[in-house]
């Protein structure tokens, strides 16, 4: 089978898209290793200017979650 037979004659790529400087497979190895991209809801994303800010906030949350918090004391009934 000729490779050219697989090409769709009615290509739907817009003329303003320029892939002439593209490199095939540039991110292939990184993609194979997996990704950890997490989409943020718009209201959350507005609070962080960049990925560094998100990471700092999450590290602080992790640190706080690891701290041992003593249980709240409650008054016993009938005391």
Whether 46 shows a pLDDT value over 60: the answer reads yes
Give 9's pLDDT tier (boundaries 50, 70, 90).
low
Q: What is the mean pLDDT of residues 38-47?
A: 94
pLDDT of residue 53: 96
For residues 38-60, b (16+ Cβ closer than 10 Å) or e, as one string? eeeeeeeeeeeeeeeebeeeeee
pLDDT of residue 36: 80
Tokens 């050219």 map to which residue? 4
Residue 16 phi, psi (nearest 5): -75, -10
The average confidence (pLDDT) of the chain is 82
pLDDT of residue 31: 81
pLDDT of residue 28: 85
- Count CA within 13 A, CB hemisphere, residue 17: 6
Question: Do you know the residue count of the chain?
Answer: 79
Position with higher pLDDT, 9 vs 74: 74
């Amino acid at each position: 089978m000729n490779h050219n037979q697989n090409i769709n004659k009615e290509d739907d790529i817009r003329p303003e898209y320029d892939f002439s400087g593209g490199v095939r497979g540039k991110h292939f190895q990184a993609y194979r290793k997996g990704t950890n991209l997490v989409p943020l809801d718009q209201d959350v994303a507005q609070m962080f200017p960049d990925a560094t800010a998100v990471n700092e906030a999450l590290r602080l949350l992790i640190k706080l979650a690891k701290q041992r918090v003593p249980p709240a004391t409650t008054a016993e009934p009938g005391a």
